[in-house]
Amino acid sequence: MGGVNHFARRSRMNILIRNATILPMNATGGQPLHYEGNVGIEGERIAFAGSDGRQAEEFLSRHAGDCRVVEAEGKVVLPGFVNAHTHVAMSLLRGVSDDVPLAEWLEQHIWPIEGKMGRREVFDGARLGILEMLLGGTTTFVDMYPHEDAVAEAAEEAGMRAVVCPCAMDFRMAHFEEDWRRTRERVSGSRLVGTMVAPHAIYTLSEGNLRRAMELADEAGAGIHLHLSETEKEDADARERYGASPTAWFDAVGLFGRPTIAAHCVTVSEGDIRVLAERGVSVAHNPQSNMKLGSGIAPVRRMLEAGVNVAIGTDGAASNNDLDMWEEMRTASLLQKAVLRDPCAVPAYTALRMATANGAKAIGREGELGVVAAGRWPTCRSSTWGGRT
Ligand SMILES: [Zn+2]
């Protein structure tokens, strides 16, 4: 737990960032998207962000002798990224299987290895993935995996914010309930880590087991994190089995009555998009994973136009093959431009909002994270949607 102590020491520090280009990510109306200015950080909170030099002088004199000054001319200050969907421990599986479709990739390559991974491997894989994310400017991630208590421990040790989501699947329901119990214990009182329940996907869960996962989420006041409409096969199978699209089926079962993050949403119809917008479901768009597995291109612009909160995730490193949110933003923007033959389809600033402010909204921290402004949290604090019971 040495890392936590280091974080606690760091978090009391005062920092003045001077002469930076600031992208606050909360500009409205005709406000400029960026400005030249200074940011003062007091302990864990942003004390001020602005272009008035007197604020910086006042901040310096208030914290004379106890303030680190960062000269940031030519550099940009922007909120940390929220990786809205990943399986961080899969850093250990990076590159184990390329050039195969999702079902084969999961059933023949990934699940057999994951079946041999215990808590120790998940902890080590999480540490590796967290290091990669921190180096790339990601300060929050939403994870889904077995042994999520180990992911919570790794995040706390690194001083990183996370929402860890134990994964429910038919063939491991007993393990899931144990993971959920341990994870809730682990994050109880955590300043950095919260939890949600993760029903894996429509093709890995019976209705009975889905209802059990919903029951556990409700008991804890926790949200839901799932895979939704990732492939055409998933969509076709759901229509054959249930006579409904995955979105329509989950809606009929009542899943979306809870705060929900749905990863992928590649094959959603216009009707599905309306449901997602009406129920306030956040979508985690994973363009590079969808490209690698040949799943398709999510209708991101349509979802944004319909009022769906679309965030960005990398998915696990095995289906990407990295956890780089810069690449993910670039791909998200370029794919929509190419497929819609419209260079304005998802502009750069929209992609940046998806990776910051929209990610914060997806985890219930809208306006609090994902924005550079007074009162916001530049570093870390506990997370989201219950779980801190
Ligand atoms: Zn995933």
Q: Per-residue pLDDT tens for 164-206?
A: 999 999 999 999 999 999 999 999 999 899 999 999 999 999 9
- For the cut 60, the answer to whether the pLDDT of residue 67 exceeds it is yes
pLDDT at 378 (0 to 100): 61
Return the sign of the alpha-carbon dihedral for residues 32, 34, 36, 41: positive
Ligand 1 centre to CA of 6 (Å) is: 31
Alpha-carbon distance of 149 to 141, in angstroms, equals: 14
Alpha-carbon distance of 147 to 117, in angstroms, equals: 9
Preceding amide of 321 cis, omega within 30: yes
Ligand 1 centre to CA of 387 (Å) is: 21
Ligand 1 centre to CA of 260 (Å) is: 15
Ligand 1 centre to CA of 45 (Å) is: 32
Alpha-carbon distance of 195 to 38, in angstroms, equals: 34
Ligand 1 centre to CA of 103 (Å) is: 13
Q: How far is CA 355 from CA 25, 171, 244, 371, in A?
A: 10, 33, 31, 11
Q: Per-residue pLDDT tens for 269-285?
A: 999 999 999 999 999 99
Ligand 1 centre to CA of 55 (Å) is: 44
Long-range pairs of 345-351 with CB within 8 A, sequence gap ≥ 24: 345/301, 346/300, 346/301, 346/304, 349/33, 350/304, 351/312
pTM value is: 0.93
Buried b / exposed e over 275-284, threshold 16 CB at 10 Å, is: bbbebebbbb
Ligand 1 centre to CA of 347 (Å) is: 25
Long-range pairs of 129-133 with CB within 8 A, sequence gap ≥ 24: 129/86, 129/88, 129/89, 129/90, 129/91, 129/317, 129/323, 130/88, 130/154, 130/155, 130/158, 130/160, 131/158, 132/91, 132/317, 132/322, 132/323, 132/324, 133/83, 133/88, 133/160, 133/323, 133/325
Ligand 1 centre to CA of 233 (Å) is: 16
Ligand 1 centre to CA of 316 (Å) is: 6
Ligand 1 centre to CA of 262 (Å) is: 10
pLDDT at 310 (0 to 100): 98
Ligand 1 centre to CA of 227 (Å) is: 6
Rg (CA), the chain: 21
Angle formed by the axes of helices 148-158 and 2-11, nearest 10°: 50
Ligand 1 centre to CA of 372 (Å) is: 29
pLDDT at 151 (0 to 100): 98
